[in-house]
Amino acid sequence: MKVSVNWLRELVDVKLSVDELSRVLTMGGLEVEEVTPVAASFDKIVVAHVKSVAPHPNADKLRVTEVDAGTGTTLQIVCGAPNVAAGQKVPCALIGAKLPLEDGKVLEIKAAKLRGTESNGMLCSARELGLSQDHAGLLVLPDDAPVGQDIRTYLDLDDVYLTLKLTPNRGDALSMLGIARDVAALTGSALRPPKAEPAPVAIDAKRSIRITDGKACGAYNGRVIKGIDAKAATPGWMVRRLERAGLRSISPLVDITNYVMLERGQPMHAFDDAKLKGGIDVRFMRAGERVKLLNDQEVDYRPSLLAITDDSGPVALGGVMGGHATMVGDATTDVFFESAFFDPEAVQGKAKALQLTSDAAYRYERGVDFAGSRSALERATALTLEICGGKAGPVTEALGELPKRSAVRVRPDRVRLLLGYAVADDEMVRILERLSCKVQKEGAAMQVTPPSWRFDLAIEEDFVEEIARVRGYDHVPATPPRASVPMLRTREGARDRFALRHIAADLGYQEVINYSFVPAEWEREFAGNEKPVRLANPIASTMDVMRTSLVGGLVASLAANLNRGEERARLFEIGRCFDRDEASVEAQPERLAALAYGLREPEQWGWGANAGRVDFFDAKGDLEALAGSVALEFEPGTHPACHPGRCAVVKAGGRVIGFVGELHPRLQQKHDLPFAPVLFEVLAGALLEAPATRFGGVSRMPVVRRDLAVTVPENVAVGTLLGAVRGSLPAFVTEVEVFDQYRGKGVEPGRKSLAFRILMQDTDRTLTDTEVEVVVASIRDQLVQQFKAQPRT
């Protein structure tokens, strides 16, 4: 949004300098991105009248002119512009004038001789004044330009325009009147809104209006003006204001509608009344209908497009763009003006869907003043009668469903609580009334009704923001925060995610962070999930579902590292996954996954002794290191991402928390991995709830060790044996572990030999042989009875 400061000063009586005004606007939420003078600094350039033009005696492309510049004497000036002609009004730089050049230098005008002919000044183009890049000829001024007047005054060149960066919720600030209202509220200056007196009705001509879809169109005002001169020249002041706002002057009728839009924020449209057939109906498009827009784009039927129609069908798209068939032109003598309110929801996204840009849609999408459409029509009528002549008919109005402005309860105590500093009740009332809100006291609270142009004020917090904004953010006291921070109780033994990250890093793993959006193919391959949570608007076609496993991202990260020459990788990730049951807390479990690939140890001198690649047991050992004191159980199992015979289910506390295994050969081949990595994935929360650490004294008594060897059926898991044995031992038994496993000669087929290490130690006394043998015997008996073990000798 570009704002002319001089135009703004006409609408609000503000005495601030441009820099001060820019600061007020920025601090008030309307950020000023750029301050740009309309023209560079120059002087002694006036309006001049070219009295005569004659050929130069010594140059074919030069002309000798006689110019009246209001100095009392006629000036002879040599000019090379091809469009110079007698009778023109043009800018003239007098002797002593200084013109800025593009390279930063200054050109001073002096009396000179050009090809032997005296020249006492210079006639100027728009480029030489810094107004545009047009250097094809002189800047020809209107015939009524006063001779001798300073060109800066005549063209209003001492103006500055501000480029504002507006937030999407401030649709009311997309007009000069909207900016003026905010400046008046921020500074307390008097607002001088442009007048819109009802135009005299001179004819009975009118066109009937009906609103079929009242929810989409809240109000539609129309007026016929007959006998206009569509070829009349748009006044220079209007052309300049349009150009400084970034719009191009097209024709007087179009310029008037654009000017009213800039001035009041109300988009308008001008139809050639002679091209309309019958009454106007505002409704959604019907099947088979189409309309050609002003930009020559043809739009076929879409049920969500609101159309302005006559008896022949759609002639415009409501709130978006007018139609080509009814556009005004030089031959137009009768015009039908439209000034309407379209509901933002009916317009939002329509211009984008049609791949076009529209100033009208940009404003309607954000909300325009639904109470100002009638006054905007009167303003456009007055300008048309002034510029193009003609006679106006009565205003025809139809109403649909207009937005309701409900009062919002605002509590001063709540305002002060949210702001964090004191604001008097009376000051709140004054601020809200300066914003054109209606305020009514109701006990300790206020009932505040926002004005018709503020669609962003709907809840109590909105008005709290307005009070803070208008009162000034620079008035917020710099009070250091004060708060008590009690020490939280933490269960002993509990760990956090940073502890897991540190342990993983100590084990040689590097953390990766992958997108939660993954291809649906990954979910099928790595998680066996045929119905993942799909995204309504994915950021890429290959990231269309939410992940339920971290494995796919780790494998992709491994492949990327291998493609860049890495031969050994240790990767882990802690992140949320998203199961199908979206209503459950468990639908977003946090998981920890890790992947190991390559040699067990980095290559080094003498590395042959450690040349083995990582296998299932390396991953299992790393997982147990991460678990710490959390007891894990491993059982043979399957997982879609793992090799069928090299995978185990991981349990903690009797419930399944994940898996560990080797990547499936099919996935290894698909992702071009020379060797299969080993990996695991578990619920992160299961590793955080570790039992509290127990401390004991260091015993001076000797440790007693006994070894026990038994054979058991092949299908009996070692973890099951250890779990059963450890649960029924006296306190002085400090360790029971399996240290050897054997299959082969001396062991029956279908059985395996396990060797247990049993350590016993008491803190106060030396254990007797009898006590030791009783423990060993009880373990042997339990294994025999419960697991069909057979002692080995």
Give the span between the Cα atoms of 547 and 552, in whole angstroms.
Answer: 9
CA atoms within 13 A on the CB side of 648: 19
The single-letter code of the amino acid at 93 is A
Asked if residues 363 and 171 have their Cβ atoms less than 8 Å apart, the reply is yes
Which residues are within 8 A (CB) of 439 and not within 5 positions of it... i.e. 6 or more apart?
429, 432, 433, 446, 447, 448, 449
3-state secondary structure 358-380: CHHHHHHCCCCCCCCHHHHHHHH
- Closest to 360 measured CA to CA, from 316, 416, 419, 414: 316
Q: Is 720 exposed, middle or buried (0-12, 13-18, 19+ CB in 10 A)?
A: middle
Residue with tokens 């702001």: 419
Measured distance CA(387)–CA(441) in Å, rounded: 48
Q: For residues 262 and 244, what is the distance between their CA atoms, to the nearest angstrom?
A: 11
Residues with Cβ within 8 Å of 86's Cβ and at least 6 positions away in sequence, in order, are 50, 51, 52, 53
Would you tell me how many other CB atoms lie within 10 Å of the CB of residue 481? 5
Cα–Cα dist 110/608, whole Å:
92
Q: DSSP string of 458-494?
A: -SHHHHHHHHHHHH-GGGS--PPP----PPPP--TTB
**Burial, 707: exposed, middle or buried (Cβ in 10 Å; 0-12, 13-18, 19+)?**
exposed
Q: Which residues are part of a known binding site?
A: 456, 462, 465-466
Task: Name the pairing type of β-strands 160-165 and 122-123.
Answer: unpaired
In 69-183 the beta strands, taken as DSSP E runs, fall at 74-79, 89-93, 98-100, 106-108, 112-114, 117-119, 122-123, 160-165
Residues facing residue 419 across a β-bridge? none
Instruction: For residue 269, list its beta bridge partners.
Output: 338
Annotated binding site for Mg(2+): 456, 462, 465-466
